[in-house]
């Protein structure tokens, strides 16, 4: 498991990015808000069942919260993709995570628009008559 201080910092960062107060997160987990406060102070750590719920509520991977990964997304398939990240996708995630919400939403709108464009027809290079 991650050192409590590193986990505490990462948890607070993700909670704030997702727009939860400590009380809202505690309510979503069915616990008292003092537990979340203690986790973020590095005084305690959630039990395994609560940690699993925490990852689900925050839509964040366990590895990210445990500082074992730089990629917060719990499951790329939930974003409509395959379960295998391409190298380009892996490079995009930390960049997107650092964007202000307004810019991230703009980028998302652009990506959705690009995804709806028809695939261009491929024409091999060379003479249109089939002669190289």
pLDDT in tens, 66-109: 888 776 765 544 444 444 556 676 677 677 777 787 887 888 78
| Angle, CA 65 vertex, CA 38 and CA 106 arms, to 5° | 115
Domains (range + CATH), the chain: 1-74 (1.10.260.40), 75-117 (no CATH)
Indicate yes or no: pTM above 0.75.
Answer: no
Q: What is the mean pLDDT of residues 1-25?
A: 87
Cβ atoms within 10 A of the Cβ of 121, count?
5
């Amino acid at each position: 498991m991650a050192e409590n201080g590193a986990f505490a910092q990462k948890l607070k960062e993700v909670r704030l990015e997702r727009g939860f107060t400590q009380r809202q997160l505690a309510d979503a987990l069915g616990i008292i808000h003092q537990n979340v406060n203690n986790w973020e102070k590095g005084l305690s750590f959630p039990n395994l069942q609560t940690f699993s719920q925490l990852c689900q509520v925050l839509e964040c991977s366990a590895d990210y919260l445990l500082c074992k990964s730089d990629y917060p997304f719990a499951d790329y398939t939930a974003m409509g993709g395959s379960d295998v990240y391409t190298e380009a996708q892996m490079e995009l995630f930390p960049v997107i995570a650092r964007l202000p919400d307004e810019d991230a939403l703009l980028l998302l709108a652009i990506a959705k628009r690009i995804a709806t464009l028809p695939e261009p027809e491929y024409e091999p290079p060379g003479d249109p008559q089939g002669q190289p």
